Amino acid sequence: MDVFSDLIRGVRAHGSLFGSSTLSPPWALHFVDGAPLTLCTVLAGAGWIVPEDRPPEPLRARETIVVRGPATFTFVDEVGTRAEPVAYGEHCAAPEEGGTRHRRGWHDHGGYDHGGDADDGRGATTLIVGAYPVRGEISRRLLDALPVVLRADTGGTADAVLDHLAAEVALDTPGQQVVLDRLLDWMLVCTLREWFDRPGGEAPAWWAAQRDPVVGDALRLLHAAPAAPWTVTALAERTGVSRSTLAKRFADLVGEPPLTYLTRWRMTLAADLLVERRDATVADIARAVGYSDPFGFSAAFKRVRGTNPSEFRRTAPTASAAAEGSGQARTP
């Protein structure tokens, strides 16, 4: 398991398509839920993404922007539009509100027209939006690596995904929501990979380190078996270099020694397990992340997380409460 796969596995669409909107100017859609991640793709036409307290970003045909919450944002036909903002959020995923099985047309009179292209498609902009919940500390590490607004010049595979999205949104068939969810997941992965790989970008250290033949192998080993009794010597033997070479190379590329990285990753896993497995004891969680001694685990958890495991569990929201507060759209 590579680092990126581990971090993004919990960021999944599930009924998260706010809708396919066919818009004629002027329009202003205010995305009010503040979802942790919102993916916006224009299939045809153009508009502007206007985040809170940030400069507007143009969004043209077949371009994608990802906005990181919790701040809200607006999609407008032009900066300074005369349109009154219309709240757009979780309820928009419901079919009766123009969700996945209905198109929306925004007209000059300020109302929505369900079931058809606005103005017969003349000058219309078609927007697809997916909101992503980000649950738990594992996914939070990915979120923390992203800017508020992320634009990627995708192309290639992403263009093929756009073609599939356009075709699927036009349909009304059983299983459509599942297909759209997976296509949105695919689009998000393509967008993030391209952004992390761009020259002069601000990708986290672990992203480039994954490409190193030695450190990348070490990271994959740690993520594949985080509870194993790893030592720097054992990692060096598995990666085919000396202990000193691995230690220096890992610290240079990742920014911290291998076992320090492993401890932080174990505590991230433990934080999520404490919330997800409420019936498990602290000793159970300790063993699950590689500690035979619950006291040693508790000390490490407090050192890394700033609180002991029991207190963390007591104050952390339940998984269901986190989902409700994450901006996840309801399944239609």
Residues 6 or more apart whose CB falls under 8 angstroms from that of 133 comprise: 11, 14, 16, 35, 36, 322, 323, 326, 327, 328
Number of helical H runs and strand E runs in the chain: 13, 12
More confident residue, 154 or 197: 197
What is the token pair recorded at 102? 């209905």
The pTM of this model reads: 0.80
123 falls in which pLDDT band (50, 70, 90)?
low
User: What distances in angstroms separate CA 179 from CA 89, 103, 171, 332, one per listed residue?
Assistant: 21, 17, 11, 14
Cα 183 from chain centroid (whole Å): 14
More confident residue, 198 or 313: 313
87 falls in which pLDDT band (50, 70, 90)?
confident
DSSP 206-275: HHHHTTSTTHHHHHHHHHH-TTS---HHHHHHHHTS-HHHHHHHHHHHHSS-HHHHHHHHHHHHHHHHHH
Q: Identify the burial level of 135 via C-beta atoms within 10 angstroms of its C-beta, where 0-12 means exposed, 13-18 middle and 19 or more buried.
A: buried
Q: Which residue carries 């610290």 as its tokens?
A: 251
Strand partners, 87: 30
Domain ranges of the chain: 3-197, 207-315
- CA 219/CA 206 separation, integer angstroms: 9
**Closest to 264 measured CA to CA, from 225, 294, 232, 303:** 303
128 falls in which pLDDT band (50, 70, 90)?
confident
- CA 268/CA 159 separation, integer angstroms: 35
3-state class percentages of the chain: helix first, strand second, coil last, to nearest 5: 45, 20, 40
* Domain 3-197 falls under CATH 2.70.180.20: no
- Give the H/E segment covering residue 138: helix 136-144
pLDDT at 118 over 70: no
Strand partners, 47: 59
Residue 30's φ and ψ, nearest 5 degrees, are: -100, 115
Averaged over 39-50, what is the pLDDT? 92
Give the model confidence (pLDDT) of 22-33 as tens digits: 788 999 999 988
Give the model confidence (pLDDT) of 259-290 as tens digits: 999 999 999 999 999 999 999 999 999 999 99
pLDDT above 90: percentage of residues in the chain: 53
User: What distances in angstroms separate CA 38 from CA 49, 150, 168, 265, 281, one per listed residue?
Assistant: 11, 10, 20, 26, 36
Q: Please measure the distance between the N-terminal and C-terminal CA atoms of the chain and give it in whole angstroms.
A: 33
pLDDT at 332 over 50: no
What pLDDT was estimated at residue 64? Answer: 92
For the structural domain made of 207-315, what CATH number should be given?
Answer: 1.10.10.60
What pLDDT was estimated at residue 170? Answer: 80
pLDDT at 222 over 80: yes
